[in-house]
Amino acid sequence: MTASRKPRRSIRSRPAAGGLPVPLRPARTVLPAVRATPEGGPSGAMAAADTLLQDLDMGLSAQVARLTRGLSPIALAEAWSDWAMHLALSPGKQAQLAVKGGHKVQRLASFMASCALKPHPAETCIRPLPQDKRFSHPGWTTWPYNVLSQSFLLTQQWWSNATTGVRGVTPQHENAVEFAARQALDVFSPSNFAWTNPEVAERTAQTGGTNFVSGWANFLNDWQRLAGGERPAGADDYVPGEQVAVTPGKIVYRNRLIELIQYEPATDKVRPEPVLIVPAWIMKYYILDLSPENSFVRYLTEQGFTVFMISWKNPDAGDRDLGMEDYLRLGVMAAMDAVCAITGRPGVHATGYCLGGTLLAIAAAAMARDGDGRIASLTFLATQTDFTEAGELTLFINDSQIAFLEAMMWDKGYLDTQQMTGAFEMLRSNDLVWSRMVRHYLMGEAEAMNDLMAWNADATRMPYRMHSEYLRHLFLENDLAEGRFIAGGQPVALSDIRVPVFLVGTERDHVAPWRSVYKFHLTADTDVTFLLTNGGHNAGIVSEPGHPRRHYRIREAARDDGYVDPDRFLEMVAVRDGSWWPELVEWLAARSGRSVAPPAIGAPEKGCAPLGAAPGTYVFAT
């Protein structure tokens, strides 16, 4: 028997007329210029001088940040100096590296000798990692390209040995140095140059060199678009409301931060519990409503669910002081109030994607703390709640780097889309930068745009205060997983969540690694169904039935079951072919009531009158 708990103060705002929330207090400013004290505080002139000097420091950091694309040179220098000084005091490690280097030279010399005797030697010195596709073309097995590729891979391996395993180096600094060394080496990969890439040489011979003419035209076109602030070629063929985000619906609620879309029913009867989707605000919402054939929203409506979706505003300089509390209050909780007002239902199947899922987890924990029982179930798609193993995004997340980003955002009031795009491209430079350069500029191939690529080019900004709080409290200090994150003036605990959870991770996720997503098991005190699907952060989620080469694993864990670690999960759970979407629908249906007539679109009498057709207006802000 569960003991009753006294309801605590809700995180929701005071209801306005119509029952929907309004802010209780103005947003606080971030990084105040000076902290006044009751007695002996700085005078007005001194406070102004302090503010001016702080602005000077912030302005200088902002200028440097533009040159380094947001990377803190101090953080990088700290990592390199930590590694270099410990390596200098490790003669044993130095000797080991010298021996390894000698062995690699010997292996390469032996391979070159075998190449002289046999044009296509069967044995190579080293094989690329499974995810490295740069040397998959058959031409890399012929001389001299095989020698070039083998030399590069051996060098890359030696540097990996050199930057790891040095006693005394902190794990973050070791990871950062290894990452930086790999990024620097990738610049000089033989696959990146026309005269050392057999695939480019073959294309040049076939086209008589016209591939370089086409490549130059592609380069000029890309440069013009970049200089003019235009989207990539072909992206304009995917316009929200025309080719993508076309599932019929209406905007039924709007505030300064969100538009709430209610989608039209696709069946005569619907499940009584509506589905509320909270997408990430890093990108536009319509990743979950792309083309009609791969729209997650359309699929749910066709399976008999009433679906609502938040469309976040693309913030500008005027939104600089919006924080996580504002996104919670004006986002999740405002949408929850509107959904319940429209449908008249006490239970909602809440679904969060990426950062939207993290915010939803905070809201769910706060609602459980406060005795608010409107959530019937939770679905988290590629969502992290524990950030101790958050992948390569954490390599440079420290106080120095965050202070540097804060200075860059302070200058404009937001984190620009170029910095966001650049950060993600850096994490996957082989796929997103160098391989594209080879195909587009050296091979002369036209880039085939699709709906997912067009959505990926439709980036958004991040408000100064919110992004600073997100990086500090979640990434750096891991406050949510450790029970220190404040919502509504009090800390929240994920262990307060008692509703069933459907948790989805993707195998090749660089943004929310699946092992990091899996850590929800360690903080949960409820039934958790974990599903691991193939694909990456976006493509793994957009996995409609009929999508080729899709598979997944799924396991249900009851609240009282013992913990199963990720490696054991892989060993004990069999792979199933196909899309994971039907699994979610079956899971939701088992936790829903009997079908009823669909609710009306909007509820004017409750302050939720339809304001226009989906996809609304916020999605078009650039």
pLDDT tens column, 187-243: 999 999 999 999 999 999 999 999 999 999 999 988 888 777 788 888 888 999 999
Residue of higher predicted confidence among 27 and 375: 375
Segment 277-291 shows an average pLDDT of: 95
Question: Is 307 within 8 Å of 248 (Cβ atoms)?
Answer: no
Q: Where are the alpha helices (DSSP H) in 378-463?
A: 399-412, 417-427, 429, 435-437, 451-456
DSSP assignment, residue 596? B
Question: Is 274 within 8 Å of 351 (Cβ atoms)?
Answer: no
pLDDT confidence band for 8 (50 / 70 / 90): very low
Residue 529: count other Cβ atoms within 10 Å of its Cβ. 19
Q: How many whole angstroms separate alpha carbon 278 and alpha carbon 584?
A: 16
- Using left for φ > 0, alpha for ψ between -120 and 50, and beta otherwise, residue 609 falls in beta
pLDDT tens, residue by residue, 138-189: 999 888 899 999 999 999 999 999 999 999 999 889 988 998 899 889 999 9
Segment 567-588 shows an average pLDDT of: 97
pLDDT confidence band for 42 (50 / 70 / 90): low
Q: How many whole angstroms separate alpha carbon 111 and alpha carbon 101?
A: 15
Helices (H) and strands (E) in the chain, counts: 21, 14
Residue type at 574 in one-letter notation? A
101, pLDDT greater than 70: yes
Provide the pairing of β-strand 275-278 with 348-353: parallel
410, pLDDT greater than 80: no
Name the nearest CA neighbour of 72 among 418, 408, 382.
Answer: 408
Residue type at 471 in one-letter notation? L
Name the nearest CA neighbour of 333 among 14, 616, 7, 11.
Answer: 11
Provide the pairing of β-strand 528-533 with 551-557: antiparallel
Catalytic positions, please?
A: 354
Segment 416-436 shows an average pLDDT of: 65
Q: Where are the alpha helices (DSSP H) in 315-392?
A: 324-327, 334-343, 355-369
Domains and CATH numbers, the chain: 249-387+478-620 (3.40.50.1820)
Task: Tell me the CA distances in angstroms from 27 to 311, 327, 532, 568, one per residue in order.
Answer: 21, 11, 39, 46
502, pLDDT greater than 60: yes
Beta bridge partners of 349: 275, 377
> What token pair was written down for 344?
């008249």
Segment 317-345 shows an average pLDDT of: 95
Mean pLDDT across the chain: 87
411, pLDDT greater than 80: no
pLDDT tens, residue by residue, 504-559: 999 999 889 999 999 999 999 999 999 999 999 999 999 999 999 999 999 999 99
Residue of higher predicted confidence among 396 and 592: 592
For 318, counting Cβ atoms within 10 Å of its Cβ (0-12 exposed, 13-18 middle, 19+ buried), the class is exposed
428, pLDDT greater than 80: no
Residue of higher predicted confidence among 556 and 459: 556
According to the model, what pLDDT value does residue 418 have? 65
Residue type at 85 in one-letter notation? M
Beta bridge partners of 251: 261
